[in-house]
Structure 1
């Protein structure tokens, strides 16, 4: 249990850095383009690569005799592509709903940013579970 807690804390820290990268890139792209879903796909893939590379070195212990790390990276990227596609659509819906509901207020003005913040806890938990399973169990 203690190991799991340490890994969780480490992963949250690494993911937090990745999330900041994602968040900054996402919002910079939103300044140029109103395609929230596409912007999220681009920014998320950058962050995903960072989190995988760092967390496989600093957080998780590679299973001896398991499949090679490069194959795990490909599997993780495929998982992330599916997740990003689904989350990007969800973000677009949430952002549109926030904009319509709070039009003219600060929440409406930053609806895409607010939507990104709202979905982060769910995606972070899912990513931790998938990474732990993929790196340490397979």
Structure 2
């Protein structure tokens, strides 16, 4: 399975923040560190906050911090939320399915089972097990 860059950066943000949970991070700081568009990362951070994994504060001293202890954040839940509207194959999409095999396709059920197993396996791991701590000089 291939994850979108949106999910990839969402996981990176959480891992980075878990390494220094007391430090708020601005979108600009993280965008610079990850070498990604600030606009793209703002959407990622907004989604993480909407799902209850981050708290955001505006103004001086503001930024984003973890909203929950890393031990309570399951990676599968994060991936499932961030990948939520991404169909792994065309026939999983609610609209636009043009596959003529769909009515009798047996692959769709197998792919759905594999996807569920992927998320379940990721849910065996918490963010606490993937904390990133930058090297300090």
Q: TM-score, with normalisation over the residues of structure 1?
A: 0.35
Q: TM-score, with normalisation over the residues of structure 2?
A: 0.36
Greater helix proportion: 1
